[in-house]
Amino acid sequence: MKHALRLAATVAAGFLAGMPCVLAPLSAYASSHSDAPLIKLDPQANLTDVYAFVGDSANGKVLNIVVNVHPFCEPGDGAIYDKFSDDAIYSIHIADPNTGATLRRYDFRFSGPSAGLKNPNTILSYGLGTQAGAIQSIGDSHQNYTQTYSLTSMSGSSATLLGSNLVTAPPNVGLRTTPLYNDQVATINGSPNPNYGFAVSGATSDATLDPYTKQAVKSLDNGVRVFCGMRDDSFYADIPGIFDLLDPRILKTLGKASGSDGTGVDGFKGYNVLTYAVQIPLSQLPAAVSYTPVFAGAFGLSASPTTGVGVYASVSRPRVTLRSAVGAPVSSGPYIQVNRLGNPLFNEALVALKDKDNYNRDSPTVDATKYATYALNSELATLINTVHGTNFVTTGRVDLQAVFIPDVLRVDTTTDAVTLAGQSGFSRLGFIGGDTVNSPGGTRNAGWPNGRRFGDDVVDVALTAIASGPSYSTVTLVSDNIAANDQVYNQVFPYSATPNAGTRNRKDSY
Amino acid sequence: MSVSSSPVVGMAGARPLVIGLIVTVIAGGVGFALARRAKTVATPVAVASSSAVPVMVAGASTVTGVSSVAGASDVSPTPESVRAGIPTVGGTTAAEREVAKRLLLTRSHASDPQAWVNLGDAVMQLTRERADPHNVGPAESAYRYALTLKPNQAEALTGMAWVMGNRHQFEESKEWARKAIAARPDESGAYGLMGDAQLERGDYDGAFETYQKMLDIRPDLSSYSRGAHLLYVTGDTAKAVWLMEKAVKSGGPFAENTAWCRGQLAEMLFSTGGVLPAESQVKEGMKTAPDNPFLLVMDARIKLAKKNLPGAIASAERVVSVAPQHVAGLILLYDLYRRAGETAKAEGMKAQVETAAVHYKQHGNADQLFLAKFYADHDLKLSDALLIVNDRTANGTKELTAPNDADISAWVFYKNGMSKEAEKYSKMARSKGGQDATRLYHAGMIAAKDGYLQEARLMLYKALSFNPNFDPIQADVCAQTLAGLAGKAVGNDRVAKH
């Protein structure tokens, strides 16, 4: 039975009047899965999310940076399965948190479809190399194709090769080909295990990582560790509901208030992404830069400036690709940036269509002059007001400017390690949920926009900020009604959850 | 019974209101209806609550054909016997002043049934504010005397429904409410109490219909707050918050009414992880009701979520100071003392929880599920907890259709090693309403014990994601259990159980 309480009213008129408009602002809320027209045509280079947070490791305090690319990787997309583009440079920038200028860059370059192929005379990339069977370790005789990569550190024009011929983790084909990703317990207490064949995640130590992931985590010199491979898409939001004329399962608010009741549907559940990640000891980072954190002095957070770094990601492709009727394409010329990403949501939800592709080509150093207007004058707030009859502040949004301009994740590197999803005290809402972290300068926000952790509910935090700022005299919680990822994140590097299995996943089988 | 909210506080008392044009909104945001009413309703509405602890009353005969509570002694109330039972009050709070005023008016208007109803209402309001069940009996006597003057006095019949609901005697409460509605079809308070009883029994469809009638008759704090609470327990927190805000704006005759709504708002926001938004509500509510137990409980929980354990303890101690029978406050303080390593003080709180349970039972509250949960949460007297649950389940599943009751039963069965029963009741608990961190946690623990490790991981993780502060002690157990499951059922590590 559908319950319907018919209630009073003044709010109703505004809601009805604006109903059709509701799609416009919210349709873009996919972190960065559909941020701009041109990059939508190039999935392999389409960045979806950047995570950056302070953690602990055997090498002391570290900065973890995990970047996802290629939205909506289909786990069962055989026989080739998605992999990184071999003519793109996937970059992580350590930047000045105030200006966005790159201080150091980590470039990942991947091998092509031929290198690492054991047996070109089969249709299978996985499960049959020189022998048929389940892959037991990366690159064994059952894995026909293994993509490898190199990592180079760039400081100015100085390049340092940190590692080469590093193996990526294989896709999760399924129980019969990549069993070590998945739940192999067929029966429980004599009954069929409903999760038989599903990916298993939630490791809390290197020892409890699945063997493929463990093998793909590579330790380089100076305590730097890296990982590349397919993973679960760690972003969660009810995009399908938003697109379907704002299905009432999300943003059910008729007025200004809201909360998250879990009735949304994670539109990303069961899908994978390609992930490249690096863990850097804080001692190996460029010198931290002084900056004032967002919300300093408010909500019990320290008012004092701190030091840290900015983080963003980019993907670049050669200027020229020459296709041939008789051979593989040939690329040449300098690399051109085709996508970039720092904070979640900025290009998607705030930058207008006319500038979205420009944004992807630009450096954060021009954000203050070219794109600050989109933060200061939030069209999203205007549209929500139109739709909901609310009175959110639409101009002079210096609070949003402080978060998004320049569009880099500002990470306070003076703090203790932040809490992780699944640990006591972790709140997906960060300081809004009481989740703070200590630093010598006082109490700091543990989650986004102090960096970004896996599980940070950036949609809810952003909507809440739009509804509450710039004064924040009251904090109005607004939500898309989805409060958790469909998989449990790992609590160790590379943190993102195990890739969903092609044969059994929460998108297709559950 | 939920231990996270006041055991006595109801859903907000309603008072006479003039109603004008009402435009109505259909939940779901897709349609609207228009209803017109113009009527002055003078009704003492009260409310049972999802966490009300009933009080045995002295005196209960069958005045209107409805069976009275067992053990009642004041079979034939007289003006003197009613007045003699009224508690002595000071003049500190509005409710206390109201009791004194209404008591006086029964002398000048002794033959007017409404005067006795008003006295009963004032005493019930006092009950709400003090979270003390002692006064429900005197209130019942006042209502019953009103009924001797006018057997079909709708407000008095409604008052009786309030009394029964407060005692968790929901079938009786519904019966009295039916009588009231028969006496006066637009008796909105009776619809409210009828809906309360339906809600408490898990009859959400019935509660929606009944509350709707109340909303149509009289949209005010009482009906808005009821609707909000129902939306909340059925999983529509977003709209529940919106509607509860309307209730707050509507205002009530007593500060406690609005404070309760603020407390509910805070709980709704807190339950979805919004600590700062919840804090805003508590601070606002405490401006006019600084000693409201419900607000103080939320204040303590918020402070704990903000890592201020001493502050949380101070707020919880204040709860117990102003409302010594406040079960949620007592249990919270027990947990906080344990977190602080104050073992002796924790033991003292445990004793007070048990004393309160006895106290409620002596006053007619047969609902001891809160005690069962307290025992199960802390691995205390698990066999006693099982006895309480078995006593409920022996009455049939009808008693357990409310998700919270089913969940507590599942938890007690789990703690007693009764996997099959635990799983059955956990599923029942999650079959209605929205996501709830505590229910997810319980389900995850049950699944882990049964070897369903993937289910366990997801439910424990989601419980923490939904509300990492769902319980001062159990949230940590949840995280520890989740960590303990790492690596299980991965690769060749075929661990069927942990």
Interchain pair B496, A185: CB under 8 A: yes
Helix axes B237-250 and B255-271, enclosed angle (nearest 10): 160
Note the pLDDT of residue A251: 56
d(Cα B304, Cα B335) in Å, to the nearest integer? 11
Structure tokens at B101: 């005023």
Band (A257; pLDDT cuts 50, 70, 90): very low
CA distances from A138 to A152, A206, A232, A430 (A): 23, 17, 19, 37
Q: Which of residues 239-258 of B touch A (CB under 8 A)?
A: 239-243, 245-246
> In this complex, is the C-beta atom of B79 within 8 Å of any C-beta atom belonging to chain A?
no
DSSP letters, A206-221, are GGGS-HHHHHH-EE-G
Residue A197, sorted as left (phi over 0), alpha (psi -120 to 50) or beta, turns out to be left
SS3 A356: helix
Q: Report how far residue A162's alpha carbon sits from residue A135's, in angstroms, rounded to the nearest whole number.
A: 28
pLDDT at B42 over 70: no
Contact state of B306 with A434 under an 8 Å Cβ cutoff = yes
Q: Name every chain B residue with its beta carbon within 8 A of the beta carbon of A22.
A: none
Task: Give the pLDDT confidence score for residue A263 in this predicted structure.
Answer: 62
Q: What is the pLDDT of residue B399?
A: 53
Closest chain A C-alpha to B29 CA, distance in angstroms:
6
Q: Are A54 and A61 in contact (CB under 8 A)?
A: yes
Instruction: Output DSSP code: residue A127.
Output: S
Percent of chain A surpassing pLDDT 90 = 75
Residue A145 above 50 pLDDT? yes
What confidence category does residue A230 fall into, taking pLDDT thresholds of 50, 70 and 90? very high
Separation in Å, CA of A187 to nearest CA in chain B: 9
Mean pLDDT value across residues A398-407: 97
pLDDT of the residue at B64: 32
Indicate whether A217 pLDDT > 90. Answer: yes
Q: Which residue of A has its CA nearest to B272?
A: A260
Give B168's pLDDT tier (boundaries 50, 70, 90): confident
Mean pLDDT, all residues of chain B? 81
Q: Is B464 on the interface with A (CB under 8 A)?
A: yes
Q: Which of B223, B174, B233, B163 is nearest to B202 (CA)?
A: B233
Q: How confident is the model at residue A1 (pLDDT cuts 50, 70, 90)?
A: very low
CB contact under 8 A, B468 and A426: yes
3-state secondary structure chain B: CCCCCCCCCCCCCECCEEEEEEEEEECCCCEEEEEEEEEEECCCECCCCCCCCCCCCCCCCCCCCCCCCCCCCCCCCCHHHHHHHCCCCCCCCHHHHHHHHHHHHHHHCCCCHHHHHHHHHHHHHHHHHHCCHHHHHHHHHHHHHHHHHCCCCHHHHHHHHHHHHHCCCHHHHHHHHHHHHHHCCCCHHHHHHHHHHHHHCCCHHHHHHHHHHHHHHCCCHHHHHHHHHHHHHCCCHHHHHHHHHHHHHHCCCCHHHHHHHHHHHHHHHHHCCCHHHHHHHHHHHHHHCCCCHHHHHHHHHHHHHCCCHHHHHHHHHHHHHHCCCCHHHHHHHHHHHHHCCCHHHHHHHHHHHHHHHHHHHHCCCCCCHHHHHHHHHCCCCHHHHHHHHHHHHCCCHHHHCCHHHHHHHHHHHHHCCCHHHHHHHHHHHHCCCCCCHHHHHHHHHHHHHCCCHHHHHHHHHHHHHHCCCCCCCHHHHHHHHHHHCCCCCECCECCCCC
* Interatomic CA distance for residues A200 and A185, integer angstroms: 11
Residue B395 pLDDT? 60
Tens of pLDDT, residue by residue over B398-431, are 555 788 889 999 999 999 999 999 999 999 888 8
Mean pLDDT of the B179-188 span: 95
* Contact call for residues B119 and B141 (beta carbons, < 8 A): no
More confident residue, B82 or B435: B82
Looking at beta carbons, which residues of chain A come within 8 Å of B206?
none
**Of residues A389 and B145, more confidently modeled:** B145
* Cα–Cα distance, A217 to A236 (Å, whole number): 25
Cα–Cα distances in angstroms (integers) from residue A60 to residues A218, A279, A283, A415, in the given order? 17, 11, 9, 13
pLDDT of residue B10 exceeding 70: no
CA distances from B388 to B56, B245, B367, B409, B493 (A): 19, 37, 9, 9, 40
Residues of A in contact with B448 (CB under 8 A): none
Using the Cβ of A240 and the Cβ atoms of chain B, whether some distance falls under 8 Å is answered with no
Element holding A91 (H helix, E strand): strand A89-95
Q: Which of B461, B466, B469, B478 is the best substitution to test chain A (most A C-beta atoms within 10 A)?
A: B461
Share of chain B above pLDDT 70, in %: 81
pLDDT 10s digits, B117-137: 999 999 998 888 777 778 888
CA neighbor of B45 nearest in space, from B201, B314, B171, B225: B225
Task: For chain A, give the percent of residues with pLDDT over 70.
Answer: 89
> Is A471's Cβ below 8 Å from some Cβ in B?
no
* pLDDT (mean) for B234-243: 82
User: Does residue A18 carry a pLDDT above 60?
Assistant: no
Which amino acid is residue B9, in one-letter code?
A: V
Interface of B with A in 10-29 (CB under 8 A): 22-29
| Residues with Cβ within 8 Å of residue B432, at least 6 apart in sequence | B202, B204, B234, B401, B403
pLDDT greater than 80 at residue B329: yes
Q: Which residue from A6, A433, A474 is facing B24, i.e. has the nearest CB?
A: A6
Distances (CA, A) of B318 to A438, B299, B314: 29, 10, 6
pTM: 0.86
B interface test, pick of A137, A261, A388 with most B CB neighbours within 10 Å:
A261
Name the range with the highest mean pLDDT among A85-94, A265-274, B431-440: A85-94
The answer to whether the beta carbons of residues B64 and B49 sit under 8 Å apart is: no
Residue A249: predicted pLDDT: 63
Nearest 5°: the CA angle A183, A184, A190 is: 110
Task: Identify the helix (H) or strand (E) that includes residue A358.
Answer: helix A353-361
> In this complex, is the C-beta atom of A253 within 8 Å of any C-beta atom belonging to chain B?
yes
3-class DSSP assignment, residue A483 = coil
**What's residue B128's pLDDT?**
80
The whole-number pLDDT of residue A233 equals 97
Contact B46, B195 (CB under 8 A): no
Picking from B26, B249, B276, B279 by the largest number of A CB atoms within 10 A of its own CB, the best residue to mutate is: B276
- Chain B partners within 8 Å of A482 (Cβ): none
Distance, CA of B56 to CA of B72 (rounded, Å): 7
pLDDT band for position B254 (cuts 50, 70, 90) = confident
Tokens of B58: 């002295």
pLDDT of residue A398: 96
Query: Using the beta-carbon criterion (under 8 Å), do A207 and B487 form an inter-chain contact?
Result: yes
DSSP symbol at A351: S
**Which residue in chain B is spatially nearest to A454 when comparing CA positions?**
B465
Across A203-353, the runs of DSSP E, i.e. the strands, are: 218-219, 225-232, 272-281, 289-291, 306-322, 330-341
CA gap B265, B238 in Å, rounded? 11
Contacts of A206 in chain B (CB under 8 A): none
What ranges in A389-507 are assigned the alpha helix state H? 398-404, 458-468
Provide the ipTM. 0.90
CA nearest to B454, candidates A505, A240, A40: A505
Residue A247, pLDDT score: 62
Strongest mean pLDDT among B362-371, B378-387, B487-496:
B378-387
Tokens 């590349």 -> residue: A228
Q: How high is the pLDDT of residue B435?
A: 79
Are the beta carbons of A254 and B483 separated by less than 8 Å? no
pLDDT in tens, A95-144: 999 999 999 999 999 999 888 899 999 999 999 999 999 999 999 999 99
Q: Do B238 and A260 touch (CB under 8 A)?
A: yes
Pairs from A382-387 (Cβ < 8 Å, separation ≥ 24)? A383/A21, A383/A22, A383/A24, A383/A25, A384/A25, A384/A466, A384/A467, A386/A18, A386/A21, A387/A15, A387/A18, A387/A19, A387/A21, A387/A22, A387/A25
Are A7 and B466 a contacting pair at CB < 8 A?
no
The length of chain B, given as a count of residues = 498
CB B52 within 8 A of CB B10: yes
Question: Is the pLDDT score of B493 beyond 80?
Answer: no
- Distance between CA atoms of residues B145 and B134, nearest Å: 18
Q: Per the CB < 8 Å rule, is B454 touching A12?
A: no
Is the minimum CB–CB distance between A439 and chain B shorter than 8 Å? no
Residues 328-387 of B with CB under 8 A from A: none
Angstrom distance (rounded) from CA B358 to CA B384: 13
CA distance B360 to chain A (A): 33
Checking if the pLDDT of B496 tops 80, the result is: no
User: Under DSSP, is residue A142 helix (H, G, I), strand (E, B) or coil?
Assistant: coil
Q: What is the pLDDT of residue A59?
A: 80
Residue B135 has what pLDDT? Answer: 83
**A428: nearest CA partner in chain B:** B465
Give the residue among B17, B7, B8, B41 at the shortest CA–CA distance from B221: B17
For B25, the closest of A9, A209, A424 (CB atoms) is: A9
- How far apart CA B417 and CA B420 sit, in angstroms, is 9
- Interface A-B: count of C-beta contacts within 8 A: 272
- pLDDT tier at A3 (50, 70, 90 boundaries)? low
Residue ranges of A 409-438 with Cβ closer than 8 A to chain B: 421-429, 431-436
pLDDT (tens digit per residue) in B88-102:
877 778 888 899 999
The CA distance from B429 to B436, in Å, is: 10
Q: A301 pLDDT exceeds 90?
A: yes
Check residue A349 and report its DSSP letter.
I
CA-based nearest residue in chain B for residue A479: B238
Q: At B470, list the tokens.
A: 């769902």
Q: What is the mean pLDDT of residues A167-181?
A: 97
Residue A14's pLDDT band, with cuts at 50, 70 and 90, is very low
Average pLDDT taken over every residue of chain A: 89
Contacting residues of B for A421, CB less than 8 Å apart: 461, 464-465
- In residues, how long is chain A? 510
pLDDT classification of A355: cutoffs 50, 70, 90: very high
